[in-house]
Amino acid sequence: MGAAGLARVAWICAAVGLLVAPWHGLEGGLAELGAWPAGIATPLLGLALGDRFWLLPPLGLLVLATLPLFGLGNAGRILTFAGAASVAYIFAQGYAIGLRGLEWSWLAPILGPEVPAQAALGWGGALAIAGFTGICAAGLAARGRFGGDAFIAFLVIGSALLLVLFVFLPLLRVLQAAIYEHDQFAPSALIARLTASEAWSTGCVADGVGCGVVWNTLVLATLTGVLTTAIGLAFALLTTRGELRAVRMFRALTILPLITPPFVVSLALIVLFGRTGIVTQWVSYLFDVPRSRWIYGMPGVLLAQLLSGAPIAFMLLEGTIRAIAPSLEEAAATMGARRLTVFRTVTWPLLRPGLAAAFLLGFVESLADFGNPLVLGGDFDVLSTRIFFAIAGARHDPGRAAALAILLLALTFGAFAAQAYWLGKRRYVTVSGKGDSGVPSPLPRGLAMGCGAIALPWAAFTAVIYGIIMVGGFVHDIGRGDMTITWRHFVTAFEVEMQAGGAAFRGAAWDSLFTTLEVSAISAPLTAGMGIMLAWLLARQVFPGRRTLEFMAMLSFAIPGTVVGVSYIMAFNVPPIELTGTAMILIICFVFRNLPVGVRGGIAALSQIDRSLDEASATMGAGAFTTLRRVILPLLRPAIVAALAYSFVHAMTGVSAIIFLVSAKYNMATAYIVGRVEAGEIALAIAYSSLLIVLMLIVVLGIERVVGRVQIGRRGGRGENEPAEPAMRLGA
């Protein structure tokens, strides 16, 4: 489609939005499908001719954009100006006039003191924005930008607009909430909130009272990062360099954290080590040790995070170790170096990027973790839980929550900066593109024994934890040792009653499960599609601002889920984009939260596809859209399916962001489970969690069956510690 064709289609879309569709929506904004037939929001023309004259400019700009369609004027300049000006004006007037009338008081001399209230944008506003974005893209293509390809121009401009709206705008709203007090600009309020004693107190060192939440969060994240890296390294060394036969079991354990809601491990720890837990009762009976609540606090949260994070660190480090060219280790051994010397001087230095990545992942995941501190934290507060209670607690204080969110975000960006500094400008390239027939150097005996002493007990403990999760839903009350087999918890949650008209879903958990499946099924293809499309733009196209677009696309990876939830509440609770309380805000949150995985996976897959295929398609006269549809997408099938699986699983199990966004009408499974835990119904929560794990396992194994994984063989054939068949690795 050329610039002229895109301009015509976009003009029609904008005209429908301005003249036919209802301009304003209901309370739910764009997510309320009933806004169109309800008839309460008239098209923009009727509003503008009534008492809302400020809505006339978009109509005038639409008329201006009509001129190039009839060959009048400079098409590139007119279309670019009309499209960009209209989009900017639609958003500006939406922020200037809201539910309380005029929000920007400096406009009172122009609009008058009595300005009618204005609801959120509806379908008319959405179609108009989409149409004018296309008009702007067509104008840029007509001026020769983006290689004159209107399709590329529309993808870039549209993607940038979406990223600004749903990534940058919410962050700016957080900063605004932190720097304002009682709707007044107050920098002193921000400074006071950022330096409050609740954040930075060192009372635990001076007088034995609790420390500030920043120190709690930082210490917990550091310990989690270090220990998950150490445990993951022990597993990875045993599976790649040790003589371990239980590789299948180790790899099976790595998939569990991917499909388990983040707080479910905490439930199993309570069952084992709570005041009435199984282990606690046995220790008390055998050794007359008084029962305690040690699991509630930093030890319990740390243990839960280690159980969740160690398998992920193992996946990262195993890939890093396998990427080390064995010929380098063979060369050192040929020179007479002992096994320990080879490991210390060759293998260990090359592990540095993998170690940094594993530590960073453990650190960032600990910062973002909300479920485990909520369930096991007790009096030990961290930033994620303190932010939640600042919003949802009795002291509803959005400004305080925003300031704490800024501190959490600063810790996250600080971790990324520290990783970049530690790696420095050293090079760690070991794969040159040439064949490598070397044999990996075995571990030194002492190091292998040390790794086994760490990994094997941890694997057994992890198996016990997940065994508790799978069994706990089928017994009366596993937390109090009542192991009577029962289906009561599943009946309470998922009762189905057969009636004359069909099945009636009577269980208390059905609504949340159906909502979760619906939201996940919608968000997953959107995430995968947008991620692959952005990856194609970034890897295959050259245009101004490409690096900026990549930064915008990857930024959400560095934003903790708690910050995302708070920022969405603040950004989309009022016009012009009002989404809170709807399913749409959940879908959008998951799409942009999981987008970086699809982008990075797509870029990695595209790096293996020779550009000559694109050039051949262009030589045959195909445009960018045809090349993408008929050449690139079929070759990206594994990356697309992996992005689909990752997005679906994370939408099913996410909690830190959506805990702020769920409503009575649209409740998610993880939020429902957290509510059952807070109500003391741990057995019911475990039953629901086990069902989610089974559902996720079916999805992941189905994807693995369809896609598989390609491995590079090495001399010596398949060793005893290698799997017989290929297996896909999600998140690789």
pLDDT at 481: 67
Arithmetic mean of pLDDT, 426-455: 67
Q: Measuring CA to CA, which residue among 218, 219, 214 is closest to residue 199? A: 214
Asked if residue 43 has a cis previous peptide bond (ω within 30° of 0), the answer is no
| Rounded-to-integer distance, Cα 198 and Cα 216, Å | 11
pLDDT higher than threshold 60 for residue 635: yes
pLDDT score for 209: 67
Structure tokens at 542: 């050259």
Domain ranges of the chain: 3-143, 200-430+441-486, 510-705
For the stretch 88-126, what's the b/e string if a residue is b when 16 or more beta carbons lie within 10 angstroms of its beta carbon? ebbbebbebbbeeebbeeeeeeebeeebeebbbbbbbbb
- Confidence band (pLDDT; 50, 70, 90) for 619? confident
Check if the beta carbon of residue 707 is closer than 8 Å to that of residue 638. yes
Q: For residue 34, name the pLDDT band (cuts at 50, 70, 90).
A: very low
Burial of 347 (0-12, 13-18, 19+ CB in 10 A): buried
pLDDT score of 421: 79
Distance CA 509, CA 670 (A): 11
> Which residue would you say has higher pLDDT here, 309 or 129?
129
Q: What is the mean pLDDT of residues 322-338?
A: 69
Q: What is the pLDDT of residue 244?
A: 63
Q: Give yes or no for residue 38 having a pLDDT over 70.
A: no
- What is the phi/psi pair of residue 578, to 5°? -110, 110
3-state secondary structure 289-313: CCCCCCCCCHHHHHHHHHHHHHHHH
Give one word for 581, left, alpha or beta, with left for phi > 0 and alpha for psi -120 to 50.
left
User: Closest Cα partner for 300 from 205, 375, 384?
Assistant: 375
Answer whether residue 383 shows pLDDT above 90. Answer: yes
3-state helix, strand, coil in the chain (%, to 5): 70, 5, 25
Backbone angles phi, psi at 289, to 5 degrees: -90, 130
Strand partners of residue 29: 26
| DSSP β-ladder status, 180-181 and 502-505 | unpaired
Residue with tokens 């699809």: 598
Q: How far is Cα 367 from Cα 384, in angstroms, rounded to an integer?
A: 7
Q: What percent of the chain has pLDDT over 90?
A: 32
Q: Please give the backbone phi and psi of residue 74, each rounded to the nearest 5 degrees, phi first.
A: -80, 105
Whether 510-705 and 200-430+441-486 are alike in CATH topology: the answer is yes
Residue 39 binned pLDDT confidence (cut-offs 50, 70, 90): very low
Task: Identify the three-state secondary structure at position 211.
Answer: coil
Structure tokens at 319: 């890939």
Q: How confident is the model at residue 153 (pLDDT cuts 50, 70, 90)?
A: very high
Closest by CA to 508, choosing from 518, 490, 495, 493, is 493
Range list of β-strands (E), 89-187:
97-98, 101-102, 180-181, 184-185
Confidence bin at 90 (pLDDT 50/70/90)? very high
pLDDT tens, residue by residue, 156-195: 999 999 999 999 999 999 988 889 887 788 888 889 999 9
Task: Give the class (CATH, top level) of 510-705.
Answer: mainly alpha
The percent of residues in the chain predicted with pLDDT above 70, rounded, is 87
Contact, 257 vs 308, CB < 8 A? Answer: yes
Is residue 132 exposed (0-12), middle (13-18) or buried (19+ Cβ within 10 Å)? buried
Residue 348 Cα distances to 342, 345, 351, 443, angstroms: 9, 6, 5, 12
Say whether pLDDT at 473 is over 90: no
| Residue 394 identity | A
Note the pLDDT tens digit of each residue in 239-250: 887 766 666 676
* Helix (H) / strand (E) containing 220: helix 213-241
pLDDT at 719: 41
The stretch 130-143 carries a mean pLDDT of 96
> CA-CA distance, 214 to 197, in Å (whole number)?
10
Mean pLDDT of 458-487: 85
Residue 460 has pLDDT above 80, yes or no: yes
The length of the chain is: 732
> Residue 184: beta bridge partners?
181
Residues 6+ apart with CB under 8 A from 161: 87, 129, 133
Confidence of residue 574 (pLDDT cuts 50, 70, 90): confident
Quote the strand ranges of 258-354, DSSP E. none
Predicted confidence (pLDDT) per residue in 647-697, tens digit: 888 899 888 889 899 988 899 999 999 888 888 888 888 999 989 988 887
Burial grade of 488 (CB within 10 A; 0-12, 13-18, 19 or more): middle
Among 211-225, 242-256, 514-528, 556-570, the least confident range: 242-256
The whole-chain average pLDDT of the chain stands at 83
What local confidence, expressed as pLDDT, does residue 203 receive? 77
User: Which residues lie below 8 Å from residue 449, measured CB to CB, with a gap of 6+?
Assistant: none
Collapsed DSSP state (helix, strand, coil) of residue 505: strand
- CATH for the stretch 200-430+441-486: 1.10.3720.10
* pLDDT tens, position by position, 607-617: 767 778 777 88
Range with lowest mean pLDDT among 228-232, 440-444, 618-622: 440-444
Q: How far apart are the first and last CA of the chain?
A: 36
User: Each residue of 441-474: b (16+ CB within 10 Å) or e?
Assistant: bebbeebbeebbebbbebbeebeebbebbebbbb
Q: Are strands 184-185 and 180-181 parallel, antiparallel or unpaired?
A: antiparallel
